[in-house]
Chain A
Amino acid sequence: DAGVIQSPRHEVTEMGQEVTLRCKPISGHNSLFWYRQTMMRGLELLIYFNNNVPIDDSGMPEDRFSAKMPNASFSTLKIQPSEPRDSAVYFCASSLKGGTGELFFGEGSRLTVL
């Protein structure tokens, strides 16, 4: 099993640019989560999907952030326009809804906005 795959692993961009982070969940998993981690705020849940449908996006910081899950094997998190305060590590995780509750995390995408 390849695990949760995220890309890119590292992204450096300039303020105002659009950033797209990608995630491929584990095959067969029907829940997908996007988290953000910073030194100041720790790990924060941004949004999660069940069966490709967004269930709770209350953690999305503002309208500059958007997430989609067009099918069961792919999700994107987009920031437009990006700002320096968006610099963080973004993690994607997947799980089986109603299962043991174990989340499997990807290796993360480290974003730096200059």
Chain B
Amino acid sequence: DAKTTQPTSMDCAEGRAANLPCNHSTISGNEYVYWYRQIHSQGPQYIIHGLKNNETNEMASLIITEDRKSSTLILPHATLRDTAVYYCIVRVVGAGNMLTFGGGTRLMVKP
């Protein structure tokens, strides 16, 4: 699976949009971009995934650049409950479904 690079930490004001970047310059054509988050002491939670088109669900939006070398997870109106570590992972769907987690971005949402 391709390697990803994320900032170690970010801050965001409550109610504002949180934009979390991820670089995956070695991504292959059949690899998807997945985002998970881990709230303190809980198991990781799936947020969203995409191949090349932008995706949106009830939790977040995923913007993938045209060359697919980077992506941005957007939490449109961050709340204190969104404080967590966010992991960007690239992998081939169906290849065992296993995930390799990197260090992630620690997002702190502040009042």
Flag if B96 contacts A55 (CB, 8 Å). yes
Flag if A33 contacts B98 (CB, 8 Å). yes
Contact with A along B20-47 (1 / 0, CB 8 A): 0000000000001010100001111110
* Interface check B59, CB cutoff 8 A: no
With A93-B43, A107-B42 as given contacts, are A100 and B49 in contact (CB-CB < 8 Å)?
yes
* Interface check B10, CB cutoff 8 A: no
**Which of A40-48, A63-71, A79-87 lies at the binding interface?**
A40-48
What does DSSP make chain B's interface, helix, strand, loop or mixed? Answer: loop
Instruction: Name which of B42, B49, B102, B103 has the most chain A CB atoms within 10 A of its CB.
Output: B42
* Interface check A101, CB cutoff 8 A: yes
With A42-B102, A42-B103, A43-B101 as given contacts, are A103 and B46 in contact (CB-CB < 8 Å)?
yes
List, in ascending order, chain A residues with CB within 8 A of B98's CB: 33, 45, 48, 56
Q: Out of B43, B93, B100, name the residue touching A101 (CB < 8 Å).
A: B93
